[in-house]
Amino acid sequence: MSTKKPHLSFFENVSFNFEKAAVFTGHPRGLLDVIKACNSVYAFQFPFRSQRGYEVISGWRVEHSHHKLPVKGGIRYSEQVDEDEVKALAALMTYKCAIVDVPYGGAKGAVKIDPKKYTPHEVEQITRRYTAELIKKNFIGPGVDVPAPDYGTGPREMAWIADTYTAFHPGQIDTLACVTGKPMSSGGIQGRMEATGRGVFFGLREACSGKEDMETLGLSKGLEGKRIAVQGLGNVGYHAAKFCQEGGCVLVGVAMPEGAIYNPKGLDVDGVVKHRQETGSILNFPGATNLANSAEILECECDILIPAALENQITEANAPRVRAKIIAEGANGPTTVAGEEILLKKKVMVIPDIYLNAGGVTVSYFEWLKNLSHVRFGRMGKRFEETAFEKMLRAVETATGKTFSEAERRVIAHGADELDLVNSGLEETMINAYCNIRELWKRDRKIPDLRTAGFISAINKIAVSYEEMGIFP
Ligand code: NAD
């Protein structure tokens, strides 16, 4: 299948990938069209008075698929954002949730601002007004549409959203479940902040554990010693780099908007972050070479490239020069259709966004469940488990005469707390989903790549939902 249009928009890229997979599913055209279409697109403008005077701010919320409710997806603050981008991101959310069996339809929101150009107080006012606009049209609510952080937003914005929603819905018991990615003090869950990056690590570790797949790429099995380069050291990129480094990878390259640095002997991710905090730039990091520009990171010598900034980064223009053997898509849509065609011809393995960055929505799902159940995970069982494990240890000691040390006791007789359960659920989800899409990919030689396998898996699951509803029996 070759790209007819040289420059597809982001949403057209997603639709192209959908169609590439749809031919393997055998579903009727009407059903495929229903799955592919964006159900609701809400675009709005609101006035805002900053220190500089009045301006008009554009916002969007796109609910791509109502096959399951609520719909779910992040909110992006970016000056570059437009409707096509929000539609593409919302569609990716639908397929992502289906792949990891998180029971949501997909959505996405955006505000067309560069938050760095506003004071924190102004960002708060914009966030609260954006939330009020969503409330007006019923585009937010625990059972309707549940936003989360994305590029340019974080726990702070999510806390403002939750607070605004709660103020408009006095007396409703589940209001905190209207948004995820909140700080702990506002109903958040442990492990959400790092969830997407941790999920990238779990996914990569799983992909690299397959001896046969690694041999095809000319790589050894496992993560140990694999050279990684990361574009964008934000939430996803930083945590992915951190967990991969802890898992045995060597971080050789990092890019931020101001430039890129490279050191084949390795860069300490926390050292780079500290250096940037102190100097305002990652450039001139001790021991590293400054690359000519930020985009050079995509072409650097490494085994695994993790684009974790924005979409449309690996294109037909630079794909021929990409040297990584594995592209691990932390960002949404970093590889264009035309770029991917070149990569696949070069036998590069692309681990697609619709699977690899699903850790965020997975842990958001756990946060939503926690908010609805009004109880912290582990609260009921932790002490009970610890007591049971302790009894077992004592029985073993009595039977064998062995005495366990305090350190051994702490490890063995540890009851699961919230973070243990979140990380365990995330790991299980990422491993299962990888095995599912890899098996699909390998089962039929005609399925060209993992992204297509991911889309097939998603389309089939969504089709079942429509069939269960009695639509398209
Ligand atoms: P973020 O704002 O925390 O970080 C993005 C980083 O990329 C920033 O530090 C920014 O300065 C940097 N950046 C921007 N343009 C760059 C460029 N050209 N070169 C190098 N660096 C650049 O955003 P995030 O939440 O980490 O999101 C990053 C990507 O991951 C987005 O595509 C987002 O949709 C996707 N994603 C995020 C989550 C999440 O939980 N936050 C979940 C799934 C997917």
Of 80, 92, 113, 151, which is best to mutate to test ligand 1, by the most ligand atoms within 8 angstroms of its C-beta?
Answer: 151
Measured over the CA atoms of residue 239, residue 241, residue 245 and residue 249, the dihedral's sign is positive
Whether residue 304 is found in the same domain as residue 366: yes
- Give the whole-angstrom CA distance, residue 205 versus residue 224: 10
What mean pLDDT value characterizes the chain?
96
The answer on pLDDT for 472 being more than 80 is no
CB of 32 shorter than 6 A to ligand 1: no
The answer on pLDDT for 424 being more than 60 is yes
- Give the whole-angstrom CA distance, residue 411 versus residue 390: 11
Whether the CB-CB separation of 24 and 32 falls below 8 Å is answered with no
Last residue within a domain, chosen from 171, 186, 201 = 186
Instruction: Kindly report the pTM of this predicted structure.
Output: 0.96
pLDDT tens digits, residue range 161-188? 999 999 999 999 999 999 999 999 999 9
Give me the amino acid identity at 149: P
- Give the whole-angstrom CA distance, residue 109 versus residue 60: 5
- Give the whole-angstrom CA distance, residue 276 versus residue 285: 9
Q: Which CATH number covers residue 320?
A: 3.40.50.720
Whether residue 159 is found in the same domain as residue 196: no
Q: By residue range, what is the domain housing residue 240? A: 1-37+189-381+416-473
Domain for residue 85, yes or no?
A: yes
Q: Tell how far the Cα of 73 is from the centroid of ligand 1, in angstroms.
A: 15
Last residue within a domain, chosen from 186, 205, 233 = 186
Whether residue 8 is found in the same domain as residue 71: no
Q: Which CATH number covers residue 154?
A: 3.40.50.10860
Assigned token pair, 390: 């302790």
Domain for residue 388, yes or no?
A: no
Whether residue 242 is found in the same domain as residue 371: yes
Confidence band for 234, pLDDT divided at 50, 70 and 90: very high
Domain for residue 391, yes or no?
A: no
What lies within 8 Å, CB to CB, of 321 at 6+ separation is 299
- Give the whole-angstrom CA distance, residue 54 versus residue 166: 28
At residue 369, the pLDDT reads: 98
Residue written as token pair 């694999």: 226
Domain for residue 410, yes or no?
A: no
Whether residue 176 is found in the same domain as residue 195: no
- Give the whole-angstrom CA distance, residue 59 versus residue 41: 11
Domain for residue 283, yes or no?
A: yes
Whether residue 169 is found in the same domain as residue 33: no
| Atom number of ligand 1 nearest to Cα 332 | 32
| Atom number of ligand 1 nearest to Cα 313 | 18
Look at strands 259-262 and 289-290 and give their pairing.
antiparallel
CB of 152 shorter than 6 A to ligand 1: yes
Whether residue 139 is found in the same domain as residue 229: no
Average pLDDT over residues 229-238: 97
Whether the CB-CB separation of 310 and 298 falls below 8 Å is answered with no
At residue 2, the pLDDT reads: 46
Whether the CB-CB separation of 54 and 47 falls below 8 Å is answered with yes
Q: In this predicted model, which residue has the larger pLDDT, 467 or 414? A: 414
Whether residue 20 is found in the same domain as residue 58: no
Q: Tell how far the Cα of 231 is from the centroid of ligand 1, in angstroms.
A: 9
Domain for residue 405, yes or no?
A: no
Average pLDDT over residues 199-206: 98
Domain for residue 113, yes or no?
A: yes
Whether residue 173 is found in the same domain as residue 212: no
DSSP 314: B
Whether residue 27 is found in the same domain as residue 61: no
DSSP 334: -
Domain for residue 76, yes or no?
A: yes
- Give the whole-angstrom CA distance, residue 168 versus residue 201: 39
Domain total for the chain? 2
CB of 360 shorter than 6 A to ligand 1: yes
Q: Which entry of 108, 226, 325, 370 is annotated as an active-site residue?
A: 108
pLDDT tens digits, residue range 241-283? 999 999 999 999 999 999 999 999 999 999 999 999 999 999 9
Whether residue 96 is found in the same domain as residue 145: yes
CB of 330 shorter than 6 A to ligand 1: yes
CB of 257 shorter than 6 A to ligand 1: yes
At residue 433, the pLDDT reads: 98
Confidence band for 468, pLDDT divided at 50, 70 and 90: confident
* Enclosing H/E stretch for 59: strand 53-63
Whether residue 347 is found in the same domain as residue 278: yes
CB of 458 shorter than 6 A to ligand 1: no
At residue 51, the pLDDT reads: 86
DSSP 116: G
Residue 20 is among the residues annotated as catalytic for this protein: no
Q: Tell how far the Cα of 311 is from the centroid of ligand 1, in angstroms.
A: 9
pLDDT tens digits, residue range 313-364? 999 999 999 999 999 999 999 999 999 999 999 999 999 999 999 999 999 9
Last residue within a domain, chosen from 186, 215, 249 = 186
Confidence band for 473, pLDDT divided at 50, 70 and 90: low
